[in-house]
Structure formats: C-alpha cells, structure tokens
Structure 1
C-alpha cells in the first residue's frame, strides 16, 4: 500500500516481500539517483570478524552472477553512470546515479549485484590487501590513532568500539566464506530500503523496482536480533606516545542515540562548540589564545549510543593548557547560558547546513533512505528542523549537565608532552 504523507513529497511503499521503496519526484534535471540500504553495517560483525562489512562493500561490485568485475565496470562507464558500495556502523549502502534514460539498465545491474554477488577469490584477496594498507597507513595518522583509542576505551565490548576497517589481525583472517555467510544472513528483501530521487514518477519507479526485486523472497528464518552488551566503561584516559609535530587532545563523552529526546539539544551544542570558523572552540582556543592548529566537535547520528567528541591539534608544549582549555569550554555548557545571539546563530547554522544537504538527487535519496533505515521514518525530515527550533537554552544546559560531565581522554603526541598533561 502506498501512503503519501501530508506535506511530504515522498511516496513510501512496502512491497509484498518487505522491501521499502521511497520515491521523490524531482524533474528539475535529467538525472536519477538511487540508494539501496541494507540494515546491516559493521555493528553486525563479531569482534573476531571486524572489517567484514567493509571488505564486503569493497568486493561487492567486483563480480555478480554472469558478470565479471570488468564487465560491470564497462556497463556503468559506457553510459557515464556511477555505481559504488560503502558501509558504515549502522548500514550497508549501494549508490547509483544515471541520466534518466539509462536508469532501468543500471538499477537492474544494481539488483544483480545486491542479490547475486560472486565474491571472486582474486578480488577478495586484492581488496583485503588494500584494506590492510589503509589500516597500516592510519597508524601513522595522529587523529585516527587518538580517535581509535578513544572509541575502544569508551565502547569496549560494543561493536562501535572497532574501526569499520577492523584491524590487521581481523582483516587478515577474513575469507570468502565469511562474505558469503554475511551476505546470506543480512541481504534479504525484508532488510532492504530502496530510495529513488529524480526525473521519474512514483509509479514508474515502483514498477521498475518491482520488476527487478519483486520476485526476491526472504528465507523463513528471521534476521538475527542484535543483542549488544551494555556500555559499562568508566571515564579514563588513554595515551599513545608518538614523535609528531603536534599533539592531539581528544575528549569523548558517551551520548544518546538519535532516538533520544536530548538528541537535538546535543546536536545544537556540537554545532555551537565546534562547527566552523565562528564556533566557540575556534574563536576562544585558536583565535584568542593561539592554541590550536585545528579544533572541532562532532556528535554523529547513531542508531545506538553515540559519542560527543571535542578535539584539538596543538603544539606539544601547549598540550596541558590545550587539555584544560577544552575541558573548561565543555564544563561551561553545564552552568552558563549561551548568549541569545550565539544560540540563534548555532540554530541558523545547523538548519542552513541541513537544507543545503538536500540539493542534489543523490543527497535527497540518501537522507530519506537513511532515516527509513534507522527506523526514524521519512517524516523525521520535517521533525528535525522543528526539534532544533524548539530547543531552549535551558534544554542545552540540562543535556550538558547529564551527558557532558566526565570525559574519556585520548592523547597522542610526544611522550613528555602528553605525560605532563595527565600528571
């Protein structure tokens, strides 16, 4: 049954096999973009198989039933289309974009890839070697080292503790059989969201998706239920001595998922603190005090408990004062009202960036498919700006008081500098 939501340009249909189809008609340009989401990302891996979803995304487009990697590439490139696969903590994603006339052919190809990948052994081995190179190169990047050790100490046994790439040990032992098993377990129609945006009618898109995916039937076995361990870690610090030109100082706070009533207030605080050249951290710690090479804050939207992170890259001799500066700025949020002008500026910034993030068909397909996959519903697109607009200063103080009190600390830099900072 198709339901057209009030004030929404999106048609949402659930096929008989469980696939959710979202269609946004946008005839402005002769282009169609689609996103095929699978409700399975790196959070569905065991710790022993960390990196499995990433490896699957890398190999997914390298062969499917009846087509080699080269043949797939030729089909896509011969019409100037794009097709790629990616994975995140909470979902797998196949993205495609074509001119309108080529959309049926490329969507059909995407259907073959999603339903019948072959995972050729030579491609598995190649992509595993490339992933191992990425893992090793990240060991030389101070920010990545700092974030990895922060994530591990915060999340411990929870899947969010691991990098999407896994580590050298887990990536090295992944096999083609592991990819096949993961695909058979999670790639099923009742676990799929297909979001389409562009010059196509809802009826036309629905017919195409039904023709390509409608005969795909799920097994009678229910998809696995994720039972993640509770996060019981206590704030502590992790240090990594490294001979670098700067120290990375990073504070992390366990924060709620996107479904929390405090999500909007924390999103606004993240924007106020560390989003852009006018943000509080940039002005106070870089412009006024000259402490930071780079400084920022982020609070990602997650299906499960997220992390609220502030960080700074600073000269090694400034490590201690930089740490104190970051802590002070976050602590202020719990007992000091943000000025009316700064508060409204943060709201304007986040709402403006949100609107600008939905200009292209690809962005539109991404946003609505993502919301559906996270279980928020496509109406969240309307709710989010309202939630931000409704946040009051006292809401941010209450959220900061609840979540931003006891930080986890991650330091990377010259040994003497980081040891003195925690002395």
Structure 2
C-alpha cells in the first residue's frame, strides 16, 4: 500500500510540472461603464468558454421568498423575447455548442461553450438569456411544478436530504441554512411580479462577472462583450444578508428515520470563508481527514476496518461562513463506531497528532488537482470568474498553488483548534442509532 501511495504522489508531481504552463497565460481584467467586471484569457485551443456569474443567491432572498434565486434562473432558461428555449437549444446544438445555467448559494451561473469560430453565436445566446427574459406565465407555472417535484424527490436522495438537514442545523442565523430549492410554501407564493422585481434588483452590472477563455482576440472580445451587455443597468446592488454565524456552544446531533438498509451520516463544523487567511490550511486539513484514498478516513474506515460503503469529506469556497463536512454510508449498527472514530481522530489533530509526511502528500494532491482541473477551457473560465465573484479576485486562483504550498503543520493545528470543536451531526437511519452518551472534549 505504501508503494501505491508513493506512485500516486509521483504521478501528481509529474502532472504538476507538466501543467504549470496552463496558468501562465495572462488574464486581462476590465470593468465596463455599467459596472460589469470582464476577465479575458487567450489560450491556444479551438474552444471558447463564456461564463457569466451573477451575485444573486440565498443571501439576496427574504425569508418569505426562499428559493427565488434558483427559481429565477430556471425561468430565464425557459425563454426570452428573442428565443424560446427550443429555438435557443436548436441554434446552439447546430454548431455543437452548449448554453446552460446553474445555481450556487452565492450566485447564479450562465455559460456558453462553443468552438472559437462560433464565439459570436454563444455570446449572443447567453447575453440574450440574461438580458431579455420573457417571464411567460405558462413557463413560470411549468417551472413551479418542476420545483415541487424536485422538492419531493429530495426525500429519496439521502445525501441531498442530509445536506439540507445539516445546513439547517449548522446555520442558525445565516441564510445558508435555507434550502436552495426553497420550501413548497414559499415557492407557491412567489409571483411573476416577485421574479421580475428580484431580477431588476440583482441582475445589475456591479453584481456581474463575465469570464472568457479561448482562442480569441482580447481587444475584439472586450468590445463585443461591451456591446452585447450594454442594456445591463449600472444601479447599486442590494446589500447581502451575510450575518456572522456564531460557533455552536455545544455539539448538535439529530437523526431522521429513513427507509433503507444503510445509515448515512454527516458530521461537520463551521469553517472559514474563502476571504479568510485560514482557508488554505483548512482545505489541506479537510483533505487529510477525508480527501481521497490517502486520507485518514479511507485508510482507517475502509482499509483497516471495512466500516463504510462510501465516505469522504468536502468544503467549498463561499462568501459567507463555510462548512467542512465528513460523510459516511455504513450499516446502521456501525454508526456509533464511525462517529467515535471521526471525533477521536479530529481530537488527535487538535492535539498535534499529525505528521509532516501526510501534510505534504495532501498538499501535493491538492496542487495536482488544481492543474488537472485547468485542462479544459470551460473549467479555466469558471474558476477565474468564480474567485472574482467570491470577492478575492481572480489572482487568488492563479496564486492558489503557492497558498497551499505555504501551509505548515502549525497552521493546520491552529485551524483545527479554531474551528473543529463543537460539531453538528445528522444521521439518516432505518432506526434510532444507539449513540453512546459521551463527548470527546
């Protein structure tokens, strides 16, 4: 097993040196007169990717309109005054491209991916989608029914359901505790006027980042973007509802009955936002705990104990307070042991029981992931735009390998003690878990 891990590390190091040129092309940044931030990067690939980020997520929603940001994105994709959804899809597919949208708690994302030859068509379609929504009554009602179905389907998706339950338990004040899909009762009450008002308030220049990567000419593209998005207003965006989330004074644990032969467990903590200097160290720590086959969870739970069908850990960059989560799918009778092992392992890290070797392995692993992720034009455009949208600037992404490389053992012990103390745990299980009444202090 040691030989396998050494080979994995050597492979990642090789990828690192082979891929350093991917981040070497310069990025040009300009802010248009209407406040839109535009990033352009030329690469020698016969592809062009256009990413448009709009800071319109859960922090822009009121309690009465939970789910409206995601609802709006879906409505925009259903058609504009120029193209209905079918015509748009026919036009983009006729050139082998893609136009699509997605949502995150912090933003809405729209993108076009085409060959460089058809860049203008991709730009026309994605700019039209954002600027000329039809808000057709029939399409709004169709989407409302689709959202209701998605909410119902979540009950049969254990990890998605766990994620919503975990967030609601962890985030007592912050809007991150609300489901992105919304609640049935809030979606029922959202009107066409609500959607239009939310759109007008949030789809403004200073809330937008456009990131373009491809075989393009920067000066020409900047002018085309300026022309294509000239109707976006330069009005002040609303203030984000981004309250500080207090750290739990005690751990919080709960379970829900779930009809399955498998028990699913989420155990996690509040973690730093992307804007915190603690974020890189926390990401390395998260990988050490549950990131891949060299992580402690994989080695101890899968290789040594055979304790889990599936496991891992994750954290995502966010504008507001973050969260680091470990997850396990195991048999109902092993939930207590899994919980105990995770908490004891984290306590050991807080006490300094961590080696420089495992730190270096995970730093190399994360840097390797970074460069491999840049292999596609789409991912480069996404990452550059993402970090600009999150408020740390696209340079943060370009400098990310250096930030990870600088993480030390002392940094990891520090963030472990600062963040990994009072946990939140949610379990889905066919019966009440026999959780022993002890707390690892």
* TM superposition score normalised by structure 2: 0.90
Q: Distance in 2 between matches of 1:301 and 1:245?
A: 33
Cα-Cα RMSD? 1.8
The one of 234, 243, 246 equivalent to 1:229 is: 243
Residue 11 of structure 1 pairs with residue 28 of structure 2: yes
Q: Distance in 1 between matches of 2:393 and 2:136?
A: 36
Q: Distance in 1 between matches of 2:386 and 2:437?
A: 40
- What runs of 5+ residues in structure 2 fail to find an aligned partner? 1-22
Q: Give the paired residue count.
A: 414
Q: Distance in 1 between matches of 2:76 and 2:95?
A: 20
C-alpha deviation, 1:419, in angstroms: 4.4
Following superposition of structure 1 onto structure 2, how do residues 339-350 of structure 1 map, counting pairs within 5 Å? Answer: 339-350=355-366
C-alpha deviation, 1:174, in angstroms: 2.2
Q: Distance in 1 between matches of 2:437 and 2:183?
A: 28
SS at 2:350 equivalent: coil
Q: Distance in 1 between matches of 2:34 and 2:243?
A: 31
C-alpha deviation, 1:333, in angstroms: 1.1
CA contact (8 A) 2:336 2:434 kept: no
Change (3 A) 1:106 1:252: same
Following superposition of structure 1 onto structure 2, how do residues 402-413 of structure 1 map, counting pairs within 5 Å? Answer: 402-413=418-429
Change (3 A) 1:66 1:8: closer
Residue 366 of structure 1 pairs with residue 382 of structure 2: yes
CA contact (8 A) 2:203 2:232 kept: no
Following superposition of structure 1 onto structure 2, how do residues 314-393 of structure 1 map, counting pairs within 5 Å? Answer: 314-393=330-409
Deviates most, 398-407 or 134-143: 134-143
C-alpha deviations, 1:42-75, integer Å up to 9, x for none? 2211222221111111121211123322222222
Q: Distance in 1 between matches of 2:372 and 2:41?
A: 17
SS at 1:224 equivalent: coil
Following superposition of structure 1 onto structure 2, how do residues 120-139 of structure 1 map, counting pairs within 5 Å? Answer: 120-139=136-155
The one of 168, 175, 179 equivalent to 1:152 is: 168
Change (3 A) 1:358 1:322: same
C-alpha deviation, 1:299, in angstroms: 1.6
Q: Distance in 2 between matches of 1:9 and 1:229?
A: 36
| Paired position in structure 2 for 1:23 | 40
The one of 246, 265, 269 equivalent to 2:262 is: 246
Q: Distance in 2 between matches of 1:240 and 1:317?
A: 15
| Paired position in structure 1 for 2:286 | 270
Change (3 A) 1:27 1:317: same
CA contact (8 A) 1:281 1:329 kept: no
Residue 257 of structure 1 pairs with residue 288 of structure 2: no
Q: Distance in 1 between matches of 2:24 and 2:49?
A: 22
The one of 298, 318, 342 equivalent to 1:302 is: 318
C-alpha deviations, 1:171-218, integer Å up to 9, x for none? 232222221111101111222111110010111111111221235432
Deviates most, 266-275 or 334-343: 334-343
Deviates most, 17-26 or 100-109: 100-109
Deviates most, 165-174 or 384-393: 165-174
CA contact (8 A) 1:33 1:365 kept: yes
CA contact (8 A) 2:244 2:321 kept: no
The one of 176, 191, 204 equivalent to 1:175 is: 191
